[in-house]
């Protein structure tokens, strides 16, 4: 018995004080002296009354307690007053009633789609949201103590209790540790290979330098992931220090596999990566790919900055003249207004003139390109504005200002802007962090080189000189494969629109067709791809023996292995040849029967057509759809496409000074700086949004947009006010404004809430099959039947629609309504087989799925894991106790597990509301409908025979929100598996629709089921032929044996027993029967004579 039970359970035989009980049950007086035997302390009994949830007993006086809400005191002695006073008080306590009202109060909230709903106030969630706001929006900790925030909370959410800045910082650190632990599991447990980027941030107030290390990888759902892993102070910029920082980061996160590291072009980084490579090589063969030969990746954005900066190092007079003209216009509001009038009279579109920033060359490009559009206005200023002309007569540093710009200046700058446009576009592509950039690098590098070659042959001496200077810098870093990482070209091959044909065309354009340089480059890239492909094809099976895998493979291939002995209990066992063979084959477990690289390169590239929605081409989406076809090559592509072309983000890609930490964060400790910046980046990744910092072009566009929007709205509002005020004087101005903005919000919401409908229908699956990917043992017959399983045992079969279906319009939104209908049939000779399932999964491959009772959906380790994100409707024909199945003929709704959230025996409800059973294994066609309502979150599953209409009452119905189960894009299809008894499962037709009802199938057009051979299997032939024959032979034999046994037993029963004196007569002895027959008998039955 535990201590808890001793305190909570009363004694079995309570006795009076001063008495004890003898063995016989008689009571005797206890000794009066208490000194000999001290009394035991009184036990504390558990408070079982519900009222104790609202009262606290005083420690100094256990007979009194006080209310948690109003602090009123009451007697609580259990023997004298009990709990009646406390019960009476809690029913009257006003503070308790207010607490209950606030606790159950609901607040008005909106989801990501703008729909309003009532939610219960959660103080823990609200407090976490405040902490996230402080981190993401870069607010100071003192924000939570500011008067404005407190007033806002008191007006909007009175029950919210503000907290101090110290509590806020403690909560943020706890949030950082929580997010880090969840992310750390991905690297330490799942052994994810990552590519790294490094960057240096400077701190102006403390003179600290911070080194940020970012990890990049592509998830199993083929989504590019980016996470800041480290943001620590670095003491110096030596190579050994940088390498030590990288290794410490890997040890902290448990990262064991690195593919590439993107750094800038400093010499210390070259040494750092050499040291880092040597240290990482000692950890195992699988830590690096191809022994780290392609580990070092140079930052493309940094190289572009060096090339452009080298060409624009000395700004010529043409650029300075236009720069001074822009400075004059932006120097005061009156000058800007005068310039705007010149633009209007010249009928020029209204635009903005950005100023030049000395450390950002893109600002120079944007300033010149904007000024070129307003050239006519500047020429009018020169002809009509005397102040404008006098401005250029003034001296600056004792030198007359350059300008005003002449026609020659404008023409020279126009050619320069056209030249810089290529570099500007390339830098934007290189510095993107949320999209795949590695596959686009080489095409942009080739465009830059061709542009430089063209400008080097220009007739303009200044342009030619600038181009030659840039070309020298270009050749230093990107001259073929001598100074370029081959993975830059390999990544372009993994763009299905390019493949190797694009790389070959680039070689021919740069070096000439069929030249030695072109052929050499083509052979080098092909060799690199084949080498890396072989690495992925022959992966070691045991990660613990990675160091010895290569040696074992060479020894196995070069010479036969002798019989190895292993000591056992008997010390005489020899390892069998089958065991040795299993080890040899296990080393090449990932070897495929054909070369996927050659198949990929020989296939026709994808057409380069524009997206109907105007979205850029998604390379990862293509690989997600085709990863089941290229199993090994997709792993190769996953690592190569995760490489980042730039080590800096887009907002600092044009800068020549690097990233600078703001003064507010510079005053914090290095650990808190790391907590804030890492947590901020992690949270923004969960929000699925880009970084909030925009480039200059975006800021200019937004500024112009808001100006035009403000002017348009003001005009519409003024016209509406004038019209309404003329019609009636009863309208209030504020009411009209409210009506205007409500109407505007209504139309915007109406535009955003327009939904997209996705549907398809298959009245049979006739070859050639389009948009359906089959895997495993699934096949399609010439007559149009989809056969999920065949006569193989313990195998899985899958069939999925190849295009991903968008179920949510935002990652955190609600799931849209969807509906599906299909016709299936299950045939087997013996009524024992595994069923099938309609499934919605994030990956059409369903990796690591097991056959048998798992239906090809899960396995023993991931069954019930919420990270599966799988919704399925199972049609199961085996009762499995492990999954709590209803019976061996049921339909169930599964969410991330084969333990159905709700199930029912297979059947349907007819028009008379009577339930009719259906047998799934009947070789008959049956219809199934699955419907999900996105508003009510109700899931309905309905069944019916092939000839019946859809019943009004569903077979299985449950309310369950799938927003946390389904991702934004999912794949739909079917899954099945076989066990030891073979079965054939057919799907005859299928229709699916999002945001609407699925189209009804044309039952008359569906293919017919085959006429099965009466002897398709050995088991069937045994049961059909041999069992009846054996029965016919065995039954007569058993009857004969029974008759013989019966006769023998009867004879033994009635046989005469010989006594000892009768044995001496031998053959002369007469039997009693013979003697009886020898006598003559009279009429009364007595013997008369012999």
User: Which has more confidence, 744 or 691?
Assistant: 744
Cβ 436 vs Cβ 491: under 8 Å: no
By CB atoms closer than 10 A (0-12, 13-18, 19+), residue 121 is: middle
Long-range contacts of 753-756 (CB under 8 A, 24+ apart): 753/113, 753/114, 755/809, 755/816, 755/995, 756/806, 756/994, 756/995
- Report the interhelical angle of 438-456 vs 300-311 (nearest 10°): 20
pLDDT value for 546: 42
Cβ 528 vs Cβ 493: under 8 Å: no
The CATH class that applies to domain 192-304+647-686 reads alpha beta
Highest-scoring range by mean pLDDT, 157-161, 473-477, 495-499 = 495-499
Cβ 253 vs Cβ 184: under 8 Å: yes
pLDDT tens-digit series, residues 698-738: 555 555 555 555 555 555 556 655 655 554 444 454 555 55
Neighbours of 237 (CB within 10 A): 15
pLDDT tens-digit series, residues 318-343: 888 888 888 888 877 778 788 888 88
pLDDT value for 680: 87
Chain-centroid distance of CA 283 in Å reads 29
**What's the rounded mean pLDDT across residues 352-369?**
69
pLDDT value for 799: 93
Q: Which of 395-399, 771-775, 806-810 has the lowest mean pLDDT?
A: 395-399
pLDDT value for 702: 53
pLDDT value for 396: 75
The strand pairing partners of 116, in sequence order, are 110
CATH topology of domain 758-1012: Jelly Rolls (2.60.120)
pLDDT value for 3: 38
pLDDT tens-digit series, residues 477-524: 787 666 788 888 888 888 888 888 888 888 888 888 888 888 888 888
Q: In degrees rounded to 5, what are phi and psi of residue 243?
A: -65, -40
Residue 986: which pLDDT band, with cuts at 50, 70 and 90?
very high
**What's the rounded mean pLDDT across residues 204-228?**
83
The strand pairing partners of 957, in sequence order, are 940
1001 pLDDT above the threshold of 90? yes
**What's the rounded mean pLDDT across residues 614-631?**
83
d(Cα 227, Cα 230) in Å, to the nearest integer? 9
pLDDT tens-digit series, residues 96-109: 877 776 655 555 55
Q: Where are the domains of the chain?
A: 3-31+42-102, 192-304+647-686, 313-531, 533-608, 696-752, 758-1012, 1023-1090
Closest by CA to 1019, choosing from 826, 795, 829, 835, is: 829
pLDDT value for 562: 43
Three-state DSSP state, 893? strand
Sign of CA dihedral 157, 161, 166, 171: negative
d(Cα 1025, Cα 1031) in Å, to the nearest integer? 10
User: Which has more confidence, 464 or 761?
Assistant: 761
Q: pTM for the complete prediction?
A: 0.52
pLDDT tens-digit series, residues 292-328: 888 888 888 888 878 877 766 655 778 888 888 888 8
Percentages helix, strand, coil for the chain (3-state, rounded to 5) are 45, 15, 40
Residue 240: which pLDDT band, with cuts at 50, 70 and 90?
confident
In total, the chain counts a number of residues equal to: 1090
User: Which has more confidence, 801 or 727?
Assistant: 801
Closest by CA to 901, choosing from 948, 844, 941, 848, is: 941
- Report the interhelical angle of 317-330 vs 407-430 (nearest 10°): 90
Q: Which regions of 663-802 does DSSP assign to beta strands (E)?
A: 758-762, 772-776, 779-780, 786-787, 796-801
Cβ 140 vs Cβ 691: under 8 Å: no
Three-state DSSP state, 5? helix
Number of H helices and number of E strands within the chain? 32, 35
Cβ 155 vs Cβ 107: under 8 Å: no
Cβ 496 vs Cβ 619: under 8 Å: yes
Cβ 994 vs Cβ 759: under 8 Å: yes
616 pLDDT above the threshold of 70? yes
Residue 1017: which pLDDT band, with cuts at 50, 70 and 90?
low
pLDDT value for 352: 63
The strand pairing partners of 787, in sequence order, are 779, 986
Instruction: Give the CA dihedral 1036, 1037, 1042, 1048, nearest 10 degrees.
Output: 130
d(Cα 1009, Cα 925) in Å, to the nearest integer? 8
Residue 625: which pLDDT band, with cuts at 50, 70 and 90?
confident
Provide the percentage of residues in the chain whose pLDDT is more than 90: 13
Closest by CA to 899, choosing from 933, 944, 853, 852, is: 853
Closest by CA to 212, choosing from 644, 648, 643, 669, is: 648
According to DSSP, the β-strands at 786-787 and 956-959 are: unpaired
pLDDT value for 836: 93
d(Cα 969, Cα 109) in Å, to the nearest integer? 26
d(Cα 550, Cα 281) in Å, to the nearest integer? 14
């Amino acid at each position: 018995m535990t201590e808890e039970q001793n305190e909570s359970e009363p004694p079995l035989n309570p006795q009076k004080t001063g008495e004890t009980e003898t063995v016989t049950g008689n009571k005797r007086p206890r000794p009066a002296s208490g000194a000999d035997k001290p009394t035991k302390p009184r036990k504390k009994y558990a408070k079982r009354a519900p009222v104790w949830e609202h009262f606290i007993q005083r420690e100094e006086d256990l007979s009194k307690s006080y209310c948690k809400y109003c602090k009123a005191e009451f007697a609580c002695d259990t023997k004298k007053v009990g709990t009646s006073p406390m019960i009476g008080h809690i029913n009257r306590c006003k503070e308790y009633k207010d607490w209950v009202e606030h606790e159950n109060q609901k607040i008005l909230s909106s989801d990501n789609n703008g729909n309003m709903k009532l939610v219960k106030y959660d103080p823990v969630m609200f407090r976490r949201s405040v902490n996230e706001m402080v981190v993401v929006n870069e607010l100071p900790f003192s924000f939570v103590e500011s008067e404005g925030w407190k007033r806002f909370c008191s007006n909007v959410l009175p029950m919210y209790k503000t907290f101090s800045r110290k509590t806020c910082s403690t909560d943020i650190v706890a949030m950082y540790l929580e997010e880090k632990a969840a992310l750390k599991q991905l690297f330490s447990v799942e052994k994810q290979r990552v590519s790294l980027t490094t960057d240096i941030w400077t701190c102006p107030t403390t003179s600290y330098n911070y080194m940020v290390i970012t990890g990049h990888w592509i998830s199993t759902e083929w989504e590019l992931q980016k996470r800041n892993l480290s943001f620590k102070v670095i003491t110096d910029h030596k190579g050994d220090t940088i390498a030590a920082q990288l290794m410490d980061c890997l040890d902290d996160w448990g990262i064991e596999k690195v593919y590439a590291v993107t750094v800038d072009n400093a010499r210390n980084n070259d040494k750092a990566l050499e040291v880092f490579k040597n240290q990482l090589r000692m950890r195992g063969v699988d830590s690096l790919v191809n022994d780290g030969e392609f580990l070092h990746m140079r930052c493309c954005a940094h190289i572009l900055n060096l090339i452009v900066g080298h060409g624009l190092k000395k700004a010529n007079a043409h650029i300075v003249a236009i720069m001074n003209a822009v400075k004059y216009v932006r120097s005061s509001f009156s000058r800007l207004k005068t310039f705007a009038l010149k633009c209007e009279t010249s009928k020029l579109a209204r635009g903005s003139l950005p100023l030049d920033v000395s450390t950002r060359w893109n600002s120079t490009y944007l300033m010149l390109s904007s000024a070129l559009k307003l050239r006519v206005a500047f020429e009018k200023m020169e002809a009509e504005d005397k102040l404008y002309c006098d401005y250029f007569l003034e001296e600056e540093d004792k030198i007359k200002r350059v300008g005003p710009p002449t026609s020659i200046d404008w023409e020279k700058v126009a050619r320069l802007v056209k030249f810089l446009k290529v570099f500007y576009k390339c830098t934007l592509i290189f510095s993107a962090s949320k999209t795949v950039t590695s596959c686009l690098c080489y095409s942009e590098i080739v465009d830059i080189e061709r542009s430089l070659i063209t400008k080097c042959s220009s007739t303009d001496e200044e342009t030619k000189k600038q181009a030659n200077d840039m070309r020298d810098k270009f050749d230093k870093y990107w001259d073929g494969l001598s100074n370029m990482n081959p993975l830059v070209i390999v990544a372009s091959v993994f763009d299905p629109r390019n493949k190797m044909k694009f790389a070959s065309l680039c070689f021919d354009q740069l070096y000439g067709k069929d030249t030695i340089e072109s052929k050499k480059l083509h052979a080098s890239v092909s060799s690199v791809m084949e080498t890396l492909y072989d690495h992925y094809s022959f992966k070691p099976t045991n990660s613990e023996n990675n160091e010895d895998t290569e040696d074992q493979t060479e020894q196995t291939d070069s010479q036969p292995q002798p019989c190895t002995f292993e000591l056992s209990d008997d010390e005489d066992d020899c390892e069998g040849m089958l065991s040795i063979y299993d080890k040899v084959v296990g080393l090449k477990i990932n070897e495929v029967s054909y070369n996927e690289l050659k198949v990929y390169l020989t296939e026709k590239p994808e057409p380069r057509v524009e997206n109907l929605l105007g979205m850029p081409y998604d390379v990862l989406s293509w690989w997600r759809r085709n990863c089941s076809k290229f199993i090994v090559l997709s792993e190769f592509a996953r690592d190569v496409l995760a490489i980042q072309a730039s080590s800096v983000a887009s907002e600092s890609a044009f800068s020549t000074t690097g990233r600078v930490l703001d003064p507010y964060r510079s005053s914090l400790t290095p650990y808190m700086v790391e907590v804030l910046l890492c947590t901020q980046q992690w949270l923004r990744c969960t929000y699925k949004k880009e970084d909030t910092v925009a480039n200059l072009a975006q800021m200019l566009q937004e500024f112009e947009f808001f100006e035009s929007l403000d002017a348009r709205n003001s005009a519409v509002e003024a016209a509406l006010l004038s019209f309404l005020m003329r019609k009636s004087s009863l309208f209030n101005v504020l009411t009209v404004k409210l009506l205007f903005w409500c109407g505007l919000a209504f139309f915007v919401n109406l535009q955003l809430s327009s939904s997209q409908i996705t549907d398809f229908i298959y009245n049979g699956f006739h070859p050639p099959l389009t948009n359906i990917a089959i895997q495993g043992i699934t096949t399609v017959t010439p007559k149009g039947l989809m056969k999920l399983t065949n006569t193989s045992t313990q195998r899985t079969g899958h069939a999925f629609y190849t295009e991903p279906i968008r179920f949510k319009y935002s990652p955190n939104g609600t799931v849209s309504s969807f509906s599906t209908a299909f016709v299936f049939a299950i045939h087997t000779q013996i009524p024992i087989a595994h069923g099938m399932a309609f499934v919605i999964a994030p990956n059409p491959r369903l990796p690591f799925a097991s056959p048998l009772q798992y239906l090809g959906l899960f396995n023993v380790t991931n069954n019930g894991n919420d990270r599966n994100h799988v919704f399925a409707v199972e049609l199961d024909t085996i009762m499995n106790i492990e999954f709590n199945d209803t019976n061996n003929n049921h339909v169930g709704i599964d969410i991330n597990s084969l333990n159905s959230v709700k199930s029912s025996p297979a059947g349907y409800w007819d028009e008379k509301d009577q339930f009719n059973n259906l047998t799934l294994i009947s070789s008959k066609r049956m219809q199934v409908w699955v419907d999900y309502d996105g508003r009510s979150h109700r899931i309905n599953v309905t069944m019916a025979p092939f000839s019946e209409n859809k019943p009004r009452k569903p077979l299985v119905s449950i309310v369950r929100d799938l927003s946390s189960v389904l991702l934004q894009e999912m794949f739909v299809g079917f899954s099945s598996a076989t066990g030891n008894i073979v079965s054939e499962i057919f799907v005859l037709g299928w229709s699916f629709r999002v945001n609407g009802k699925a189209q009804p199938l044309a039952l008359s057009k569906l293919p017919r089921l085959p006429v099965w051979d009466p002897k398709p299997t050995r088991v069937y032939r045994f049961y059909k032929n041999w069992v009846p024959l054996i029965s016919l032979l065995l039954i007569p034999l058993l009857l004969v044996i029974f008759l013989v046994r019966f006769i023998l037993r009867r004879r033994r029963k009635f046989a005469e027993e010989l006594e000892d004196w009768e044995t001496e007569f031998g053959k002369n002895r007469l039997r009693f029967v013979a003697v009886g027959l020898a006598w003559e008998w009279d009429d009364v039955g007595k013997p008369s004579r012999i």
